[in-house]
Structure 1
Amino acid sequence: MRVVNVKGDAMTMVKVVFACSSLGEWGVTDVVVSYIEENNVEIDVYLGNTLIDMYGQRGSVHLAQGVFDRMQQRNLVSWNAMIMGYGKIGNLVAAEELFNAMPQRDVISWTSMITGYSQAGQFNDAVRLFEGMMKAKVKPDEITVASVLFACAHIGSLDAGEAVHDYVQKYDVKADVYVGNALIDMYWKCGVVEKALDVFKKMRKKDSVSWTSIIAGLEVNGFANSALYFFSRMLREGVRPSHGAFVGILLACAHAGLVNKGLEYFESMERVYGLKPEMKHYGCIVDLLSHSGNLQRAYEFIKEMPVAPDVVVWRILLCASQVHGNISLAEIATKKLLELDPSNSGNYVLSSNTYASSNRWEDVVKMRGLMEKSNVQKPSGSSSIEINGSSSSSGFLLY
């Protein structure tokens, strides 16, 4: 086009920018943008939206904002693209400012904000916005529902989660695998395993995430044998287990005291399913062996790991050493923990408690002195629990 000196119009530029964006050819898109500016190509709503979307994909929201500000006309797509762009980089303050300034909003507008807050860990804001969406009488889609359920799960808000579930059933929101998985996740994280199982059983289609979630939920809530049953059933139905499913089943074996079974599952990961064990799986085996009192075997396993054990692995061994009164292994684990994570007060406290349980008070004093010398402070924890539907915070950890 440049060679034959033909000036491209806005529609031509839309097609070129879209094609380059689809291929990830950002260098070419920069050349196209320069061409648009040099030739004063009119940035109408379609070209503007395409440029905003392109910059949003690249994370260059400041450039998208420049296009947005210069546009003479904007539509819902323009506003939504900007909100999604800010959400992608985690600037939810700017996203909500745009959201509040919108002349009108659709389901994409609301969903973009709710999803953004959920992904950023601002779960209460996600639930707040969903409540606003309901008041505005905008019908959510499956992505909205899954995002707000994700938020409900993380703040332990069973009342809000059940209200969303009721809405899905009452207004016939498309309840696909995505929504079903979100419901399972929400219910088991709120401790209502019966409802998680009910959702699972009613799902017409299940994927690996569905199975992984129900197995994890059963294990976390103390139903290790049920988790083992569902894992076996998953294999019988030909569903390939995920890394997450193996974490759930290895923990279930630990809590059910099935050491050999757990070791068999661990060994099958790579041999049968081609899944390379991750650090969390090695941690599960250390927990499995330690839980059953096989501390020396757990230590030997750690030494033979093909990867360097992290703080979690050593902390599992330290906790087990405290429970079983194995001071020598506790000291080994403590030494490793202080090398890897010297500023974590929990490591000093665990070691101190181990000495205290064996009446080694001089060592308790030494450990506390080392903690003070290292200028490590013991922080007060906090947790949020829901009591009768309202959130309550406490200044200590609940176990």
Structure 2
Amino acid sequence: MNFTLSLLSAKTSTTTITITQFPENPKTLILEQCKTTKDLNQIHAHLIKTRLLCNPSVAENLLESAAMLIPEPSMDYALLIFDKLDKPDSPLYNILIRGFTLKQNPDRAILLFRQMIEQSVQPDEFTFPSVLKACSRLKALKEGEQIHARILKSGLGSKEFIENTLIHMYAHCGEVGNARRVFDGMCERSVFTWNSMFSGYVKSGYWEDVVNLFRKMLDMGVRFDEVTLLSILSACGRLGDLELGKWINEYIEANGLMGNPNLVTSLIDMNAKCGCVANARTLFDQMTQRDVVSWSAMIAGYSQASRCKEALALFHEMQKANVEPNEVTMVSVLSSCAVLGALETGKWVHFYIRKKKLKLTVTLGTALVDFYAKCGAIENAVEVFQKLPSKNLLSWTVLIQGLASNGQGIRALKFFNLMREKNIKPNDVTFIGVLCACSHAGLVDEGRDFFVSMTRDFDIEPRVEHYGCMVDILGRAGLIEEAYQFIKNMPIKPNAIIWRTLLASCRLHRNVEIGEESLKHVVRLELANSVDYILLSNIYASVGRLEDASSVRNQMKERGIKKTPGCSLIELDGVIHEFLAEDNKHPLSDEIYTATEDMINHIKLAGYVPNIAEARLDAEEGDREASVSHHSEKLAIAFGLIRTSPGATIRITKNLRICRDCHSAAKMVSNVFKREIVVRDRNRFHHFKEGSCSCNDFW
């Protein structure tokens, strides 16, 4: 009998093949030559006409081709074939269950398994792994446990590949203890079994268990493979276990495995997470081929080590190498942009995400919200948040914290209330954002209520950070004595940050006595910090005790306490420019200093008077005003004035708390030059506009 079969060639043109005699065993024809639904239709028709479809093995081959081999996302055709079969047996059910699982329809796979049981078709050793994989995909623990019970009743519980799938199912459902019980109960374990258990621990973040199990593996003399090492390196990075990580590195080198890019990428990630970023970069540079995973690992390593400028520089190299970034790359780049205040670069990343239509996952979307908030572009942060297709607790918390640090405390609390209306339970980090919002908005009573609500309504025990927020709330409101007593009555020992917070409040409200007491506690708890002495010096100066103020400054000199150099960053046209106080390393230094002098002269005409108390300690009397005028913030602002178009917002990132003089100057500049200036200092954001600041002159 002649049989005509149309096949698609590699060039996608249609080729017609005439088969003069249909083979008695058509397995090869069906499984190897049948490439499209059209081919399958022709063979199916012939099998029906010749009644070959009644042959179970032929029917099995046809169903397998329809369910798994034809590149058709739908299982409709396979179901059509299956429904026409008379009394399908377990191998036929297995094919369909595997097909549904493979084509991302695991719920149908589980329903088909139930149908199989109802039709009294006995599952075999190949049925259980397929349906357990479907349970894993859905995290269907209850169904998985029922199937486990059926496996034990069937007597197939000792089959290693079934037990491996059980381990995977339990681990994927978060039941790592059950997975380990299956593992421990096995009579024989192959390296695949060990790897299944390692994978389960990794998925659940049980990093110490990964390392402990690997040490047990070594003690038992069990051979491991490259897949094993990937899991162990991941755990070493998370635990900071550099010793074991180095041992694995040496093993990889000694056994000629450095050509495995996955292993080298894991070594890069491990070294970076353990703080050995230079080692990571050496490994990265030695790679002959780098995929997006290796680039992303190195960029993430720089980002996690707070070497954000290097992270962005490497990202630009990645672009030149024409390597398409993925979600991991984007999250790391956005994190670096957030730290540096690199708004333009981060905006480009956002544009790229939209252009490439990358899926805006919760992780990527939250990173975008965090980036915009930390760059002071809070409206952009809110806009991204509202457009997120899905949000988790971290997304809400990031927005609440962002609004609070940008001086929009009341708005932050509105989003908190909206979050509660959606039945999303806050955690301890959320409450830090909420209490900060109360602090910046001057909501003392509300802050007290939220602090009590943490324990009463959400069973969250306040940490030292929450107590610090309450001290800040009370101190900002001028309730210095109450804040002091609050610290004294804390059930946990206050740290230096708590006392420093009170010290800052004393500076604002000119409370000398408690300010002196606060500094004593800070010095007793922590190494001397120039910021603390300067705060007390400013308190003395504010009440006219200039000799005491000078005495504090002299104590700093005598004790060798040097003021941390101020550093300000500004991004223009995708380039980060860095300024230090009285620095002349910038290639446009002469132009910048001229612009700074011009800026200072303009705001002096508007009433600005330099506060020479903010000058560096070793500045001579005649140089003190120049010292103040050349603080890093002022240099960066002046650079922004001459390098951006009129009316454009100037965005500065400062490593320290902005000094009072620069704060006053920035307010004046915003009014005189009609510019909005956004400064992110160590504590918070300052949005200067029309001569005022969002912090209400308290930071």
Amino acid at match of 1:62: K
Once residues 35 and 211 of structure 1 are traced to their aligned partners in structure 2, the CA distance between those partners, rounded to angstroms, is 47
- Match of 1:50? 228
1:250 alignment partner, one of 435, 443, 452: 435
Deviation at residue 16 of structure 1 after TM alignment: 4.2
Amino acid at match of 2:496: V
Q: Partner of 1:174: helix, strand, or coil?
A: coil
The 1:229–1:299 alpha-carbon spacing in structure 2 relative to 1, beyond 3 Å, is same
Q: Partner of 1:386: helix, strand, or coil?
A: strand
Once residues 268 and 413 of structure 2 are traced to their aligned partners in structure 1, the CA distance between those partners, rounded to angstroms, is 44
Amino acid at match of 1:234: M
Deviations 1:41-68 (A, max 9, x none): xx8xxx2453364355343222222222
Structure 1 position 322 matched with structure 2 position 510: no
- Match of 2:349? 164
Structure 1 position 192 matched with structure 2 position 377: yes
Structure 1 position 312 matched with structure 2 position 497: yes
- Match of 2:683? none
Amino acid at match of 2:364: V
Structure 1 position 69 matched with structure 2 position 257: no
Q: Partner of 1:104: helix, strand, or coil?
A: coil
Deviations 1:164-213 (A, max 9, x none): 11111111222100000000011111111111111101012111111111
1:348 alignment partner, one of 533, 549, 557: 533
Structure 1 position 385 matched with structure 2 position 570: yes
Amino acid at match of 2:445: N
Query: Structure 2, unaligned stretches of length 5 or more?
Result: 1-188, 202-208, 582-630, 634-657, 659-699
Amino acid at match of 1:97: T
Once residues 432 and 420 of structure 2 are traced to their aligned partners in structure 1, the CA distance between those partners, rounded to angstroms, is 15
2:216 alignment partner, one of 23, 28, 31: 28
Deviations 1:80-106 (A, max 9, x none): 222223223222222222222223222
Deviation at residue 72 of structure 1 after TM alignment: 4.1
- Match of 1:6? none
- Match of 2:592? none
Q: Partner of 1:391: helix, strand, or coil?
A: strand
- Match of 1:4? none
Amino acid at match of 1:374: R
Deviation at residue 379 of structure 1 after TM alignment: 3.3
The 1:127–1:259 alpha-carbon spacing in structure 2 relative to 1, beyond 3 Å, is same
Amino acid at match of 1:27: R
Structure 1 position 82 matched with structure 2 position 288: no
Identical counterparts, % of pairs: 36
Deviation at residue 308 of structure 1 after TM alignment: 1.6
1:112 alignment partner, one of 273, 291, 297: 297
Deviation at residue 133 of structure 1 after TM alignment: 2.3
- Match of 1:3? none
- Does the 8 Å CA contact 1:325/1:357 hold for their aligned counterparts? yes
Amino acid at match of 1:248: G
Once residues 108 and 69 of structure 1 are traced to their aligned partners in structure 2, the CA distance between those partners, rounded to angstroms, is 21
Q: Partner of 1:206: helix, strand, or coil?
A: coil
- Match of 2:545? 360
Q: Partner of 1:240: helix, strand, or coil?
A: coil
Structure 1 position 234 matched with structure 2 position 419: yes
- Match of 2:519? 334
The normalised TM-score by structure 2 is 0.51
Structure 1 position 153 matched with structure 2 position 338: yes
Once residues 387 and 324 of structure 1 are traced to their aligned partners in structure 2, the CA distance between those partners, rounded to angstroms, is 38
Structure 1 position 290 matched with structure 2 position 290: no
Once residues 388 and 230 of structure 2 are traced to their aligned partners in structure 1, the CA distance between those partners, rounded to angstroms, is 38
- Match of 2:318? 133
Once residues 254 and 51 of structure 1 are traced to their aligned partners in structure 2, the CA distance between those partners, rounded to angstroms, is 49
Once residues 533 and 394 of structure 2 are traced to their aligned partners in structure 1, the CA distance between those partners, rounded to angstroms, is 38
- Does the 8 Å CA contact 1:200/1:214 hold for their aligned counterparts? yes
Q: Partner of 2:569: helix, strand, or coil?
A: strand
Greater shift after overlay, 120-129 or 337-346? Answer: 337-346
Amino acid at match of 1:67: Y
Once residues 169 and 123 of structure 1 are traced to their aligned partners in structure 2, the CA distance between those partners, rounded to angstroms, is 24
- Does the 8 Å CA contact 1:247/1:281 hold for their aligned counterparts? yes
Amino acid at match of 1:121: S
Amino acid at match of 1:268: S
The normalised TM-score by structure 1 is 0.88
The 1:177–1:368 alpha-carbon spacing in structure 2 relative to 1, beyond 3 Å, is same
Deviation at residue 132 of structure 1 after TM alignment: 2.4
Once residues 411 and 311 of structure 2 are traced to their aligned partners in structure 1, the CA distance between those partners, rounded to angstroms, is 33
- Does the 8 Å CA contact 1:254/1:291 hold for their aligned counterparts? yes
Q: Which has the higher helix share?
A: 1
- Superposed, 1:369-384 pairs within 5 Å as 369-384=554-569
Once residues 234 and 188 of structure 1 are traced to their aligned partners in structure 2, the CA distance between those partners, rounded to angstroms, is 18
Number of residue pairs matched by the alignment:
379
Q: Partner of 2:322: helix, strand, or coil?
A: coil
The 1:127–1:389 alpha-carbon spacing in structure 2 relative to 1, beyond 3 Å, is closer
- Does the 8 Å CA contact 2:378/2:402 hold for their aligned counterparts? yes
- Does the 8 Å CA contact 1:385/1:391 hold for their aligned counterparts? yes
Greater shift after overlay, 294-303 or 48-57? Answer: 48-57
Once residues 235 and 443 of structure 2 are traced to their aligned partners in structure 1, the CA distance between those partners, rounded to angstroms, is 48
Once residues 194 and 428 of structure 2 are traced to their aligned partners in structure 1, the CA distance between those partners, rounded to angstroms, is 41
- Does the 8 Å CA contact 1:18/1:50 hold for their aligned counterparts? no
Q: Partner of 1:375: helix, strand, or coil?
A: coil
Amino acid at match of 2:255: M
Once residues 550 and 517 of structure 2 are traced to their aligned partners in structure 1, the CA distance between those partners, rounded to angstroms, is 18
- Does the 8 Å CA contact 2:432/2:469 hold for their aligned counterparts? yes
Once residues 368 and 99 of structure 1 are traced to their aligned partners in structure 2, the CA distance between those partners, rounded to angstroms, is 48
- Does the 8 Å CA contact 1:322/1:330 hold for their aligned counterparts? yes
- Does the 8 Å CA contact 2:344/2:571 hold for their aligned counterparts? no
The 1:57–1:322 alpha-carbon spacing in structure 2 relative to 1, beyond 3 Å, is closer
Deviation at residue 340 of structure 1 after TM alignment: 2.0
Q: Partner of 1:172: helix, strand, or coil?
A: coil
Deviation at residue 266 of structure 1 after TM alignment: 0.8
Once residues 48 and 255 of structure 1 are traced to their aligned partners in structure 2, the CA distance between those partners, rounded to angstroms, is 53
Once residues 256 and 360 of structure 1 are traced to their aligned partners in structure 2, the CA distance between those partners, rounded to angstroms, is 32
- Does the 8 Å CA contact 1:61/1:85 hold for their aligned counterparts? yes
Structure 1 position 223 matched with structure 2 position 411: no
